[in-house]
Structure 1
Amino acid sequence: MISREEFRQIGANGVWHQNTSLVQILGLCPLLAVTTNLVNGVMLSLATIIVMAIANVAVASLRNLIPHEIRIPVFILIVAALVTVVDLLFNAQLHELYLVLGIFIPLIVTNCIVLARVEAFANKNPPLQAAFDGVCMGIGMLWTLALLGGLRELIGGGTLLAGIDMVFPGLQPLQLLPADYPGFLLALLPPGAFILLGCLIAWKNWVEARAAARRPSSPPLALGDGV
């Protein structure tokens, strides 16, 4: 039976300590290409969460039946089957968004985040822990892509939630900056994504450094202590 502390540790690692985008620096292709706005980043992340969670459960359930020598092809086959289902669902239910995300939904098959967690965690742990790890790693990716996409959209065009009508018809994006805001094109281009990603990584490191500095340090041993 998994303990509460183990759940907490898995969640903290996925969302923050081992964040796939800011710490492991995996999945840079969708991170830089899709996050031109918040909606695109969030929806691709949700698709990835679904694939990661189910793939982790499948691999964790079958790990003792899969020969070690062919485990990677089998993992890819499982992930590819799940991605095909998600791709067809997006095409059927969210067709306009599907056209925007394009090839990046099928490319979830080759996303290093998915394969890394299947190999490093799901292949060595029971299904419940594997499912929770997949969801938490996906949430870590989701908030990173959402924040990066929101910043790029706001700086680049002055809006937020552009394209929300493709998910929820009738809703309109928010115009947060003046309507005559000329936009900052660099933020919407790959170099701008690299710069903002570097700023997010620096911010995370700064937060962790401040947290470490606030932790009480152990008092020095007095002469004779431990003797």
Structure 2
Amino acid sequence: MGQYRDIVEHGLWKQNPGTMQLLGLCPTLAVTSTAVNGLSLGLATALVMAASNAAVAPVRRYVPDEIRIPVFILVIAALVTIIDLSMNAFVHPLYVVLGIFIPLIVTNCIVLARVEAFAAKNPITPSALDGLMMGLGLTLVLTLLGAVRELVGKGTVLSGIDLVFGAEAKAWVLQLIPDYPGFLLAILPPGAFIGLGLLIATHNWLEQRRLAKASMQAALPVAQSH
């Protein structure tokens, strides 16, 4: 259980792909103009990561080192194709908006990195959990960044939810800032860089506070003993 707890903690916080490892920055910066776009691409990536790790772990001993990377990429590409065709069939409007970034999950370095660094060396269950948690950690960053950019840029949250659930879902959009004129910079590429930088700074600040608190708690018994 300790191993699984560490996997969850590393994926969601300590080694978060978006704020710590800084992997997969292309979709992070390009797709996160709204929370819905970020959440959708993040969940698609998480599914691919969990499935690819689970697929590679059982066969890792049978793949020669000379062709290891091409085999891993082939597995990832097959899974991305399934996701791509499924989104095209069931959520076509969202599929059109996300466009090339769905098939580009194949080239997302975080997917191959987790397959190579973890799934190729561990059993199936922890490998699948590692892929899922790393994917959800990236999803969290994509969704937060998209929500912040959307709120600052348009004054709304959940804009585009109708792309997933149909026209009736337009009523679900939250207009948090009435009569907001908009702030174009937030939904343009520079806004993505600024927003990601603020998320990274916030993550580092919270982590430093956590470490400082843990250090003080560890030093307290020593001080009391003297």
Tell me if TM exceeds 0.5.
yes
Partner in structure 1 of residue 218 of structure 2: 217
Say if 2:97 is the partner of 1:100: yes
* Residues in 2 aligned to 1:56 and 1:121: alpha-carbon distance in whole angstroms: 8
Normalized per residue, the structure richer in helix is 2
In the alignment, residue 177 of structure 2 is paired with which amino acid?
L
Identify the match of residue 75 of structure 2 among 64, 75, 78.
Answer: 78
Root mean square deviation of aligned Cα: 1.4
Q: Secondary structure at the match of 1:166?
A: helix
Q: Secondary structure at the match of 1:217?
A: helix
Identify the match of residue 12 of structure 2 among 10, 15, 34.
Answer: 15
Say if 2:62 is the partner of 1:68: no
* Residues in 2 aligned to 1:17 and 1:111: alpha-carbon distance in whole angstroms: 20
The alignment's TM-score, normalised by the length of structure 2, stands at 0.94
Partner in structure 2 of residue 198 of structure 1: 197
Give the deviation of 1:69 after TM superposition: 1.0
Say if 2:40 is the partner of 1:43: yes
Say if 2:172 is the partner of 1:175: no
Say if 2:119 is the partner of 1:118: no
Q: Please, which runs of 5 or more residues in structure 1 have no aligned partner?
A: none
Give the deviation of 1:116 after TM superposition: 0.4
Partner in structure 1 of residue 186 of structure 2: 187
Give the deviation of 1:33 after TM superposition: 0.3
Q: Greater CA deviation, 163-172 or 146-155?
A: 163-172
Identify the match of residue 136 of structure 1 among 126, 133, 141.
Answer: 133
Aligned residues: percent identity?
A: 60
* Residues in 1 aligned to 2:210 and 2:50: alpha-carbon distance in whole angstroms: 31
* Residues in 2 aligned to 1:217 and 1:95: alpha-carbon distance in whole angstroms: 54
The runs of at least 4 consecutive aligned structure 1 residues that moved more than 4 Å come to none
* Residues in 2 aligned to 1:14 and 1:217: alpha-carbon distance in whole angstroms: 25
In the alignment, residue 72 of structure 1 is paired with which amino acid?
I
* Residues in 1 aligned to 2:182 and 2:128: alpha-carbon distance in whole angstroms: 41
Q: Secondary structure at the match of 1:35?
A: coil
In the alignment, residue 171 of structure 1 is paired with which amino acid?
A
Give CA deviations for 1:92-121 in whole Å, capped at 9, x if unaligned.
000000000000000000001101000000
Give CA deviations for 1:156-201 in whole Å, capped at 9, x if unaligned.
00111011011112112111111x2111111101111111111111
* Residues in 2 aligned to 1:10 and 1:156: alpha-carbon distance in whole angstroms: 35
Q: Secondary structure at the match of 1:124?
A: coil
Q: Please, which runs of 5 or more residues in structure 2 have no aligned partner?
A: none
* Residues in 1 aligned to 2:95 and 2:136: alpha-carbon distance in whole angstroms: 21
Say if 2:89 is the partner of 1:88: no
Between Structure 1 and Structure 2, how many residues are aligned?
Answer: 219
- 1:142-153 → structure 2 map (5 Å cutoff): 142-153=139-150
Give the deviation of 1:214 after TM superposition: 1.4
* Residues in 1 aligned to 2:57 and 2:204: alpha-carbon distance in whole angstroms: 33
In the alignment, residue 209 of structure 1 is paired with which amino acid?
Q
In the alignment, residue 168 of structure 1 is paired with which amino acid?
F
In the alignment, residue 4 of structure 2 is paired with which amino acid?
F
Give the deviation of 1:217 after TM superposition: 3.3
